[in-house]
């Protein structure tokens, strides 16, 4: 049988254990037909075979981006990007130019406004924003998306200028005098302003409600949402991504993706969770089971439950075991009580669903591990591969529990303060010196047997896996006495391929280049192993192939 596609003259990094390298790959239909030398593989060419010269670049399994937010990321591609903007003047200039270019946008949204965008000592408030843009609603998001800042016009139109009662862990921050300061912490505080956007907050579909859009989108809205998601998928394919673990979503998200699949426009494999919120009862997990049964294919599947146990360090909403280093008497409020989470974990596990929980502080991480342990006690140990997302701070006693409970550590190389253009403050002061050695502790976790999956958490960080791998490799210590958490190239790539496949029970089908595996491949512009680490970000995908089909061509 002739191959459909042959890629030759590459440095093929199979990502099999032992880092096997060879030269060429042949594809037939949706599968890999052969991995071997140029001579071996070229022998499979026929008159109709498409032959691709990799020109000495790395050829490897397509990246598996194991934590991201497709709809939100796609919706933000047009927003004002404030990465690297610092100081009032620079902010005023950036917002002013953006607002002038978009005279008819009702709500102007900026992203990547870091917590020290005005200065390290002066927090951003609505008053700064009013001076920049007094008459149109403006909302700026922090990189982590857990905090946003609105101007007075936005707060007034959203009806929250005088504050709003929100659930535990959320806060409309107030200033003296009974008015909102403009700072909004977590989704319940932010969503009234986001509701002013043209898509009525569905930009963050599923992230807010954990439910389905109501009313159900009409044909025009459905078509609009399809376009948004399509652009998001194109963005992923352009960065060499072939599989996505989306971290929010609902049945509606799956219906949109299924429609793209029918049209032959689903450019990546996507896994979508049921988003369980703290106001739900465990009966809601029936919906997760329904989603899991309806969607279990290799291109589109559900089968996992996503929850948030806490918020983020920078807004003191992450849950710590001890008082915050810079805020005595405060440890954060968990979004689920210990008992409530145990119940959810046991029931989801009993249903055979995988669980992925956002847990940033060491208190939240422990609560999640306790819930997973309870599931083992009640349901017996099974191959559940539950996950903890982020793990920015972990207690020393909990590190070995990842391996013993078979729990995966899902971490993001662009997230440590000081990496990827992020400032050190306020994060390192929140964590406090005493816990720095257990913060973003990639190698410390690996050393005790934890399996690490890597991702960008797009749109929290830019989606580019190669830049993320670079950040993992050049991670800087905040002080000399800290452990070295830098990753090797192969460790970081492994966490973007093989481990990502393991995280979705697909290690026998993808994440490596092997005969019979899915034809998910990226060809890069250079040989990664022979590129200086400080130049890695210059390496780009040239061709991305998913399911045997070219999804991106430079």
Closer residue to Zn ion in complex, CB, 181/412 = 412
Closer residue to Zn ion in complex, CB, 3/247 = 247
Please, what is the minimum distance in Å from the beta carbon of residue 207 to Zn ion?
9
Please, what is the minimum distance in Å from the beta carbon of residue 152 to Zn ion?
30
User: In 67-83, which positions are buried (b, 16+ CB within 10 angstroms) versus exposed (e)?
Assistant: bbbbbbbbbbeebbbbe
Closer residue to Zn ion in complex, CB, 285/411 = 411
CA dihedral 416, 315, 149, 245 (to 10 degrees): 50
Is the separation of the CB atoms in 172 and 160 below 8 Å?
yes
Closer residue to Zn ion in complex, CB, 4/457 = 457
Please, what is the minimum distance in Å from the beta carbon of residue 471 to Zn ion?
17
Is the separation of the CB atoms in 188 and 166 below 8 Å?
yes
Please, what is the minimum distance in Å from the beta carbon of residue 293 to Zn ion?
25
Closer residue to Zn ion in complex, CB, 161/360 = 360
Please, what is the minimum distance in Å from the beta carbon of residue 457 to Zn ion?
4
Helices (H), 29-69: 38-42
Binding interface with Zn ion (CB under 5 A): 247, 457
Closer residue to Zn ion in complex, CB, 275/299 = 275
Q: Find all residues with CB under 8 Å of 448, minimum gap 6, and list them.
A: 399, 400, 402, 403
Please, what is the minimum distance in Å from the beta carbon of residue 69 to Zn ion?
6
Q: Find all residues with CB under 8 Å of 508, minimum gap 6, and list them.
A: none
- Alpha-carbon span 523 to 533, nearest angstrom: 18
Please, what is the minimum distance in Å from the beta carbon of residue 499 to Zn ion?
18
Residue 187: name the closest of 236, 139, 228 by CA: 139
What's phi and psi for 8, nearest 5 deg? -130, 175
Closer residue to Zn ion in complex, CB, 76/374 = 76
- Alpha-carbon span 110 to 148, nearest angstrom: 9
Please, what is the minimum distance in Å from the beta carbon of residue 67 to Zn ion?
6
Closer residue to Zn ion in complex, CB, 206/334 = 206
Closer residue to Zn ion in complex, CB, 247/257 = 247
Is the separation of the CB atoms in 239 and 73 below 8 Å?
no
Residue 458: name the closest of 113, 64, 74, 109 by CA: 74
Please, what is the minimum distance in Å from the beta carbon of residue 233 to Zn ion?
18
Is the separation of the CB atoms in 232 and 74 below 8 Å?
yes
| Inter-helix orientation angle 338-350/362-379, to 10° | 50
Is the separation of the CB atoms in 411 and 454 below 8 Å?
yes
């Amino acid at each position: 049988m002739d191959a459909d596609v042959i890629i030759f003259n590459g440095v093929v990094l199979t990502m099999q254990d032992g880092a096997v390298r060879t030269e060429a790959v042949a594809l037939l239909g949706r599968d890999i037909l052969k991995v071997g030398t140029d001579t071996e593989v070229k022998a499979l060419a026929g008159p109709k075979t498409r032959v691709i010269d990799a020109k000495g670049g790395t050829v490897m399994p397509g990246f598996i981006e194991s934590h991201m937010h497709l709809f939100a990321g796609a919706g933000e591609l047009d927003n004002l990007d404030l990465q690297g903007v610092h100081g009032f003047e620079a902010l005023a200039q950036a917002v002013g130019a953006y607002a002038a270019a978009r005279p008819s946008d009702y709500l102007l949204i900026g992203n990547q406004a870091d917590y020290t965008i005005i200065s390290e000592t002066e927090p951003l408030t609505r008053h700064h924003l009013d001076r920049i843009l007094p008459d149109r609603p403006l909302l700026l998001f922090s990189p982590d998306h857990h905090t946003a800042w609105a101007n007075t016009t936005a707060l007034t139109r959203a009806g929250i200028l005088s504050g709003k009662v929100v659930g535990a862990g959320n806060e409309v921050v107030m200033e003296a005098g009974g008015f909102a300061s403009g700072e909004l912490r977590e989704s319940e505080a932010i969503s009234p302003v986001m509701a002013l956007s043209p898509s009525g907050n569905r930009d963050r579909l599923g992230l807010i409600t954990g439910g389905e859009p109501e009313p159900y989108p009409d044909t025009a809205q459905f078509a609009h949402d399809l376009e948004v998601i399509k652009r998001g998928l194109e963005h992923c394919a352009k960065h060499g991504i072939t599989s996505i673990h989306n971290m929010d979503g609902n049945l509606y998200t799956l219906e949109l993706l299924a429609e793209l699949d029918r049209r032959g426009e689903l450019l990546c494999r996507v896994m979508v969770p049921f988003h369980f919120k703290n106001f739900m009862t465990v009966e809601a997990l029936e919906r997760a089971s329904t989603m899991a049964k309806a969607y279990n294919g290799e291109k589109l599947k559900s089968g996992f439950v996503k929850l948030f146990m806490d918020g983020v360090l920078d807004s003191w909403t992450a849950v710590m075991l001890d008082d915050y280093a810079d805020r005595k008497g405060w440890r954060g409020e968990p979004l689920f009580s210990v008992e409530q989470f145990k119940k959810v974990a046991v029931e989801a596990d009993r249903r055979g669903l995988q669980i992925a929980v956002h847990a940033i502080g060491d208190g939240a991480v422990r609560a999640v591990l306790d819930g997973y342990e309870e599931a083992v006690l009640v349901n017996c140990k099974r191959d559940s591969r539950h996950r903890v997302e982020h793990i920015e701070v972990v207690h020393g006693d909990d590190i070995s529990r990842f391996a013993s409970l078979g729990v995966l550590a899902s971490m993001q190389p662009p997230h440590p303060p000081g990496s990827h253009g992020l400032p050190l403050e306020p994060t390192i002061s929140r964590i406090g010196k005493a816990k720095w050695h257990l913060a973003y502790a990639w190698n410390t976790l690996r050393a005790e047997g934890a399996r690490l999956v890597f991702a960008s958490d797009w749109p929290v960080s830019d989606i580019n896996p190669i830049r993320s791998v670079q950040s993992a490799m050049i991670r800087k210590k905040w002080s000399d006495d800290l452990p070295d958490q830098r990753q090797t190239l192969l460790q970081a790539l492994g966490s973007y391929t093989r481990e990502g496949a393991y995280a979705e029970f697909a290690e026998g089908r993808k994440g490596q280049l092997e005969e019979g595996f899915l034809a998910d491949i990226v060809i890069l512009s250079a040989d990664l192993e022979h590129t200086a680490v400080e130049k890695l970000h210059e390496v780009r995908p040239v061709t991305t192939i998913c399911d045997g089909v070219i999804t991106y061509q430079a």
